[in-house]
Chain A
Amino acid sequence: MKVLIKAALAAGLALSAAPSFAQDAVRIGALYPFSGGLALLGDESFRGLELAIEERNAAGGLNGRKIEMVRGDAVDPNQAVGEARRLTSVDKVSVIFGTYSSSLSLAATQVAELAGVPYFELGAISDPITERGFKNVYRTNPTARIFANRMVDAVAEAVAPALGTDAKSLKVAIIHEDSLYGQTVAGYQQARAKEVGLNLVETLPYSAKSVDLTPVILRLKSAGADVVLQTSYQNDTVLFFRQMKEQGFKPKAVMGAGGGYSLRDTMQAVGPENMEGALNVDFTQYRTNPKAAPGIEEFVKKYEAKYGTAPRSGHSLANYMGAKVLLDAMAAAKDLTAPAIREAVMAVDVTEGTTATGWGAKFNEAGQNERATPFLMQWQGGELVTVFPADAAVAEIKTGIGAE
């Protein structure tokens, strides 16, 4: 019995293991969480990559060779390891693109590094991904530390001037969900706030599965917080805004670190009038001055043509931009071996304000893009518009939360 099962299994695996190469195509892996709790934004991220590749193929592919995508779906780190193994060994892809989720990326990049296959991270923000001395991991998007610094700096550079006060006189509170995303960003926020001498009055972690945030809000109210920095997913963002209103808590500014703040669904669930004035630091969103982000409008058109809806978040755009930069680098490389790709990636030099996200591209030794900076955005009239820095802005920053 057991023997039979195993024999059948072995035969099945051997069959599936037999590679079926399309002639001359360049195979690349696309590793994202397509199922499970992260599926929504995993899929959204993947769409950016898919559009970039279709665009490239329409324009003749990679030096005349078509690009063929192999998908990998991972829900947890063990599956990420498995899928990375499958992509690098069974499907023999030249490079892997991914991953949206930091924990999946941390696990998968380790496999790719040891297998000597370049790994292009387009969306995960955990800093250690590019801090482990790996030679084959590159990241185009800004990291958690860059996010956190931008948020804390924005309090002094954008919020305080708009309020007409000194940043040091503002009471700042940090609240965050306690998974990897929230804990990482909040950690860097605390460090930065200390560094620049902000008056930090509360740091409150909570579970993203909370069904009630009233205690958090009452703590903020008791502490008299003027500015709240929140790192959150969708459910907890909705809950926070609803209960903030119910408890009559009106801080001078609320700023999110992407996540739930960037999603249209969130705004609709909360109501545009309640979301009015909420600040957000994130990957570039769609209401950004096209002069600072050339190609952004074309991207939206392509997206709508292919998927029939407006983009659900900026993740697709960030993945699209990153994929384009790295596909260019692959085209420039003399072959698709890891050393050649590294040479080509290191030679990339794109100035800021010339890509669809407005970011530039220049990679340091660790593989991190040093020219990726998130913009400061704000919900105004049911739209997320870029308000800072000035050259990317399409609107003036407003103060207060909720419509009058």
Chain B
Amino acid sequence: MTVRVSLSEAPPAGRLAALMAWLGNPRVYTSLAALSLILVIPIVVDSPFIVHVFVTICVFAGLSTAWNIVGGYAGQLSLGHMVFYGIGAYTTALLIQHFGLTPWLGMWVGAAVSVAVSVFIGYPCFRLRGPFFALATIAFLEVVRLLAIHFHGFTGGSAGLIVPLKLGWAWMIFQDKINYLYIAFGLLLATLAVSYAIRTSRLGYCLTAVREREDAASAAGISNTDVKLKAVMISAGLTSLFGSFHAMYLTFLEPETMFSLANSVSIAMFALIGGLGTVAGPLLGTVLVVPIAELARGWLGASANGLHGFVYGVVLVLITLTLPGGLAGTFGPRVTALIDRLPGRRVAPDREAPALRHIEGTPGEPVLETRDLVMKFGGLTATDHVSITLRRGEILGVIGPNGAGKTTLFNQISGFLKPTSGTVVIYDAEGRPVTPARADEYARLGVGRTFQIVQPFGKLTVIENIMIGAFMRHTSVDDARAAALRIARLVGLLHVKDVEARNLPIGDLKRLEVARTLATEPSILLLDEVMAGQNQTDTQKMVELIRTIRDTGVTVIAIEHNMQAIMSLSDRIVVIDSGKVIAQGDPREVVRNRRVIEAYLGEDFVDAQGL
């Protein structure tokens, strides 16, 4: 009995301790204190107008924070986000009107509809970049708005939909305005929490990776479409909840306001002003702009029509010119540094993951085969019936003159190019042959690749770059970080682990390329000219590193121009010229092959040497 009691009490005590530790972090307690002002100021000032301003702040900050998940984290600039707000509002209001359903339930129905619509819009549109995605979202918004007007029998059309004024918590309509603030603040807190959770989770890292470089993200096993869809679904659901609430607050819905392009642009603007892709940015932007706009309308609006709109537009242009990182991006680090000087507990120290298990399997069995790979670009045949077999535990060197088709071959066996004809077969853990469809599936099957032209995530630190790879095998951030630290030590990047990748010299970038790939814990490693641009010592280190990796059971296939290195490293060599395999076998034999020498040095040279 006593044992039971102590067992059931221990976890809460542990949780409490963890909570206290979390609250003791200066970043946490200052953020919470600042946030609580949104609630405290209106309660202290006690004026319905102030309450209105703060409800508006909560709603727009929430909308902007939700938008930021798609617009900032995923880098997909939606300018039609109010479509979800409108759907939430209309669904809730129509459910009240026709079925007498309380908005507390209706808002979840609205969110579900919005999530469904977001998939419908997002899935086809995510292949569009930048301005085209923005234009497509505007078009969707316009179509929905026009349809809402056209089908006025259902939506009430332009004449609008009036929410019946049934007072009380059940109907979310209050005489005492402060109640609206409680709900709005609660929604805002929840949205910020979701935004924070995403930012600091695997999904957040994946979104950043996808935003920065889609190819490198695929190579790290991230399905671009999947993570973007997740982001837009979460964002749409949250946006919709705010729409439902705001409809109850305004008690009047019309397509013009509910599907407003101007508001869609505004919420994006708030995020931009505050800092795109940061957790606090959208809130910061809203807190700055909304009260100024409200007050400016009082001061300027009456004296001259359009003056405040003009000032607003000019300020936006100036902000893009002077503070492209937004408030959080520009001042964030300095403020954080100040806050960190406050007393309190710090983050836990780094932990390093133990070394990896050895890869099982019989040495020498085939792990990857290409069968008659043909790749044509227009009239050019880049690979011409290439058939090679990669055997477990070997290091296979691929050499050939520039433009021979080596990288094209790599692109096909890692899923970045679909062969015109022929197949790639991978043998999975159980030894079954499979042919994956997309690059990220190859990566998850254990085919890790580097890029000849390095593809770092420039705005992330070295360790975060490696974590992107580590997330393929680890779901938690702590585990991924621990694994990344181990890799960083292995490849010799530990001393620069907190440097942003864009500031690294080329040698370190090449190692980072290897590190990120290694972090995916591949069973087959594709190295594309990782020794180019390295000095003698670094090359030697790289050779040793590749050997170490192979010794853990990893099969390596490497494209290399550094002959000395590749010859000493490889167990076997494949020579490609003009898309064809012209020789393969033992390194010493291959270098004596007449066709190989011809390919590298030309026929004249071969003849002159009398070979």
Q: Interface on A for B, CB 8 Å cutoff?
A: 1-3, 5-7, 9-10, 12-14, 16-17, 34-36, 39, 43, 71, 73, 76-79, 81-83, 85-86, 88-90, 103, 106-107, 110, 113-115, 126, 128, 132, 178-184, 187, 205, 207
Task: How many A-B residue pairs have C-beta atoms within 8 angstroms? Tell me.
Answer: 146
- Residue contact B52 to A103, C-beta cutoff 8 Å: no
A36 and B34 alpha carbons, distance in the complex (Å): 34
A7 and B47 alpha carbons, distance in the complex (Å): 17
- Residue contact A180 to B302, C-beta cutoff 8 Å: no
> Does B48 count as interface, using CB distance less than 8 angstroms?
yes
> Does B251 count as interface, using CB distance less than 8 angstroms?
yes
Name the A residues within 8 Å of B431 (CB-CB): none
- Residue contact B152 to A85, C-beta cutoff 8 Å: no
- Residue contact B302 to A73, C-beta cutoff 8 Å: yes
A207 and B41 alpha carbons, distance in the complex (Å): 44
- Residue contact B49 to A85, C-beta cutoff 8 Å: yes
- Residue contact B51 to A81, C-beta cutoff 8 Å: no
User: In the complex, what's the smallest C-beta–C-beta distance from B543 to chain A, in angstroms?
Assistant: 50
A36 and B308 alpha carbons, distance in the complex (Å): 10
**Which listed residue (B146, B158, B252, B294) contacts A182, Cβ 8 A?**
B158
A178 and B47 alpha carbons, distance in the complex (Å): 38
Name the B residues within 8 Å of A36 (CB-CB): 309
- Residue contact A81 to B160, C-beta cutoff 8 Å: no
A176 and B48 alpha carbons, distance in the complex (Å): 39
> Does B250 count as interface, using CB distance less than 8 angstroms?
yes
Name the B residues within 8 Å of A83 (CB-CB): 297
- Residue contact B149 to A178, C-beta cutoff 8 Å: yes
> Does B5 count as interface, using CB distance less than 8 angstroms?
no
A78 and B256 alpha carbons, distance in the complex (Å): 12
- Residue contact B280 to A180, C-beta cutoff 8 Å: no
Instruction: Tell me whether A2 and B287 are in contact in the complex, defined as CB-CB below 8 angstroms, given that A85-B49, A179-B256 are known contacts.
Output: yes
- Among A2, A128, A180, chain B packs the most CB atoms within 10 A around the CB of A2
- Residue contact A3 to B33, C-beta cutoff 8 Å: yes
Name the A residues within 8 Å of B298 (CB-CB): 16, 73, 86
A183 and B153 alpha carbons, distance in the complex (Å): 11
User: In the complex, what's the smallest C-beta–C-beta distance from B250 to chain A, in angstroms?
Assistant: 5
Within 8 A of A (CB), among B289-305: 291, 294-295, 297-298, 301-302, 305
- Residue contact A13 to B291, C-beta cutoff 8 Å: yes
- The residue of chain B having its C-beta at the shortest distance from the C-beta of A105 within the complex is B252
- The residue of chain B having its C-beta at the shortest distance from the C-beta of A19 within the complex is B47
- The residue of chain A having its C-beta at the shortest distance from the C-beta of B309 within the complex is A35
Name the A residues within 8 Å of B250 (CB-CB): 77-78, 81, 107, 110
- Residue contact A34 to B302, C-beta cutoff 8 Å: yes
> Does B322 count as interface, using CB distance less than 8 angstroms?
no
User: In the complex, what's the smallest C-beta–C-beta distance from B354 to chain A, in angstroms?
Assistant: 41
Instruction: Tell me whether A17 and B165 are in contact in the complex, defined as CB-CB below 8 angstroms, given that A43-B305, A103-B256 are known contacts.
Output: no
- Residue contact A73 to B297, C-beta cutoff 8 Å: yes
> Does B331 count as interface, using CB distance less than 8 angstroms?
yes
A194 and B175 alpha carbons, distance in the complex (Å): 42
- Residue contact B47 to A89, C-beta cutoff 8 Å: yes
> Does B197 count as interface, using CB distance less than 8 angstroms?
no
User: In the complex, what's the smallest C-beta–C-beta distance from A52 to chain B, in angstroms?
Assistant: 19
**Which listed residue (A5, A7, A89, A183) contacts B157, Cβ 8 A?**
A183
**Which listed residue (A10, A88, A103, A205) contacts B160, Cβ 8 A?**
A103
Contact with A along B256-296 (1 / 0, CB 8 A): 11001000000000000000000010001001100100110
- Residue contact B287 to A90, C-beta cutoff 8 Å: no
- Residue contact A12 to B331, C-beta cutoff 8 Å: no
- Residue contact B252 to A107, C-beta cutoff 8 Å: yes
> Does B335 count as interface, using CB distance less than 8 angstroms?
yes
A90 and B47 alpha carbons, distance in the complex (Å): 7
- Residue contact A183 to B149, C-beta cutoff 8 Å: yes
> Does B249 count as interface, using CB distance less than 8 angstroms?
yes
- Residue contact B257 to A82, C-beta cutoff 8 Å: no
- Residue contact B45 to A106, C-beta cutoff 8 Å: no
**Which listed residue (B53, B149, B160) contacts A82, Cβ 8 A?**
B53
Instruction: Tell me whether A10 and B252 are in contact in the complex, defined as CB-CB below 8 angstroms, given that A35-B309, A76-B257 are known contacts.
Output: no
- Residue contact A6 to B41, C-beta cutoff 8 Å: yes
- Residue contact A1 to B41, C-beta cutoff 8 Å: no
Instruction: Tell me whether A183 and B152 are in contact in the complex, defined as CB-CB below 8 angstroms, given that A14-B45, A77-B250 are known contacts.
Output: yes
Name the A residues within 8 Å of B305 (CB-CB): 34-35, 39, 43
**Which listed residue (B47, B56, B158, B162) contacts A183, Cβ 8 A?**
B158
> Does B150 count as interface, using CB distance less than 8 angstroms?
yes
The 15 sampled A-B contact pairs (Cβ below 8 Å) are A5-B288, A12-B291, A13-B45, A73-B298, A78-B56, A81-B249, A82-B49, A85-B51, A103-B252, A106-B162, A115-B48, A132-B162, A180-B160, A181-B158, A187-B152
**Number of B residues whose C-beta is below 8 Å from A?**
54
> Does B438 count as interface, using CB distance less than 8 angstroms?
no
Instruction: Tell me whether A82 and B47 are in contact in the complex, defined as CB-CB below 8 angstroms, given that A3-B34, A10-B41 are known contacts.
Output: no
Instruction: Tell me whether A85 and B158 are in contact in the complex, defined as CB-CB below 8 angstroms, given that A110-B165, A178-B149 are known contacts.
Output: no
Instruction: Tell me whether A180 and B158 are in contact in the complex, defined as CB-CB below 8 angstroms, given that A2-B287, A9-B291, A106-B252 are known contacts.
Output: yes
Instruction: Tell me whether A183 and B288 are in contact in the complex, defined as CB-CB below 8 angstroms, given that A6-B41, A12-B295, A78-B257 are known contacts.
Output: no
- Residue contact A10 to B287, C-beta cutoff 8 Å: no
Instruction: Tell me whether A77 and B288 are in contact in the complex, defined as CB-CB below 8 angstroms, given that A35-B301, A179-B158, A182-B158 are known contacts.
Output: no
- Residue contact A205 to B260, C-beta cutoff 8 Å: no
> Does B601 count as interface, using CB distance less than 8 angstroms?
no
Name the B residues within 8 Å of A115 (CB-CB): 48
A179 and B160 alpha carbons, distance in the complex (Å): 10
Name the A residues within 8 Å of B565 (CB-CB): none
> Does B499 count as interface, using CB distance less than 8 angstroms?
no
A6 and B309 alpha carbons, distance in the complex (Å): 23
A114 and B165 alpha carbons, distance in the complex (Å): 10
Name the B residues within 8 Å of A128 (CB-CB): 159-160, 162
A81 and B55 alpha carbons, distance in the complex (Å): 11
> Does B254 count as interface, using CB distance less than 8 angstroms?
yes
User: In the complex, what's the smallest C-beta–C-beta distance from B292 to chain A, in angstroms?
Assistant: 9
> Does B134 count as interface, using CB distance less than 8 angstroms?
no
Name the B residues within 8 Å of A207 (CB-CB): 146
A82 and B301 alpha carbons, distance in the complex (Å): 14
- Residue contact B45 to A10, C-beta cutoff 8 Å: yes
Name the A residues within 8 Å of B160 (CB-CB): 103, 106, 126, 128, 180
A12 and B152 alpha carbons, distance in the complex (Å): 44
A86 and B260 alpha carbons, distance in the complex (Å): 24
User: In the complex, what's the smallest C-beta–C-beta distance from B308 to chain A, in angstroms?
Assistant: 7
> Does B315 count as interface, using CB distance less than 8 angstroms?
no
- Residue contact A114 to B34, C-beta cutoff 8 Å: no
**Which listed residue (B50, B257, B294, B306) contacts A17, Cβ 8 A?**
B50
Name the B residues within 8 Å of A1 (CB-CB): 327, 331, 335
- Residue contact B302 to A13, C-beta cutoff 8 Å: no
> Does B37 count as interface, using CB distance less than 8 angstroms?
yes
Name the B residues within 8 Å of A3 (CB-CB): 30, 33-34, 37
A150 and B41 alpha carbons, distance in the complex (Å): 52
A244 and B142 alpha carbons, distance in the complex (Å): 28
- Residue contact A178 to B158, C-beta cutoff 8 Å: yes
Instruction: Tell me whether A6 and B295 are in contact in the complex, defined as CB-CB below 8 angstroms, given that A85-B48, A110-B165 are known contacts.
Output: no
**Which listed residue (A12, A71, A103, A110) contacts B254, Cβ 8 A?**
A103
A-B interface, 10 closest residue pairs, ranked by CB to CB distance from nearest: A89-B48, A73-B301, A86-B49, A85-B52, A183-B158, A180-B158, A85-B49, A2-B34, A106-B252, A184-B159
**Which listed residue (A5, A13, A205) contacts B50, Cβ 8 A?**
A13
A107 and B248 alpha carbons, distance in the complex (Å): 11
